[in-house]
Amino acid sequence: MLPLDPILKQKSRILRKKGKSYNQIAKDLGVGKSTARYWCKDIVLSQKLQNYIYTKKLEILSKGPRSSHERRSKEIEKIRQDASNEIKFPLTEDTYKLFGAALYWAEGNKINDFTITNSDPLLVAFMTEWFCKIFNLTPYNLKAHLNIYPQQNDSDLKNFWSKITGIPLEKFGKSFVKPANKNYKKNTLYYGTIKVRVEKGTNFRHRVFGWINEVLKKTKINVELVEKKWYKLKDNSRRP
């Protein structure tokens, strides 16, 4: 068998005397680590070589997670780039319309007004642009309110969000300042949260959910059938 090859054994011993670890020997020669150790068990390394092997082992351990992270980051970057290439511009009107409708379904007010609340500048910028393009509005048809922390500057944040959304400063209402809390919070939002409301937009909201219902029509039938069978889950009354 290959591990018993005297030539491999000789090479293994030469590598060990040069300060190679058993893992390296096994990898270089294509033998088992236990075999390499058995062949070289009588070889006594100098303190210098022992220190060298130990240092290399530490380097491998320290680089391992980082190398895996870097490799995964490159994989993710390629996945995203390939996915980006699947999107063709210009987007069709229906694609643009439904993309915004889906975001509104996820982040918008479902019951009152025509409002979206979020802290992500990119999402908010897209949705304010979408409001205006889809419903033939201007930023003057929008109102904004901020939700911020006591340590944040209200004036600066209003200017920031005005630049992001195009909504004039005079269309910003009074900000809500969260009460001071003695506990340190790591998740303080840098820009606070902004609520953008379309004035007299209730009918627009109903139109958006009309589009959403049409897209989900077939799915909705199945969901409603399941809900009927599990209607008892809606019974939240207290039980003794």
Summarised one tens digit per residue, pLDDT across range 10-26 is: 889 899 888 888 888 99
Mean pLDDT of 98-122: 96
Residue 43 pLDDT > 70, yes or no?
A: yes
Q: What is the CA radius of gyration of the chain?
A: 32
Predicted confidence at residue 183, as pLDDT, reads 60
CA distance 148 to 195: 11
Predicted confidence at residue 186, as pLDDT, reads 54
Predicted confidence at residue 82, as pLDDT, reads 92
Predicted confidence at residue 3, as pLDDT, reads 45
Least confident of 64-73, 96-105, 147-156, 182-191: 182-191
CA distance 185 to 200: 37
Tell me which residue has tokens 């059938």: 225
Strands lying side by side in the sheet with 176-177: 115-118, 193-198, 142-148, 176-177
Predicted confidence at residue 218, as pLDDT, reads 92
Structural domain boundaries in the chain? 2-81, 93-228
Predicted confidence at residue 2, as pLDDT, reads 44
CA distance 140 to 12: 79
Distances in Å between the Cα of 184 and the Cα atoms of 53, 150, 157, 180 are 45, 13, 21, 10
Predicted confidence at residue 63, as pLDDT, reads 67
- % of residues, the chain, pLDDT over 70: 89
Predicted confidence at residue 6, as pLDDT, reads 83
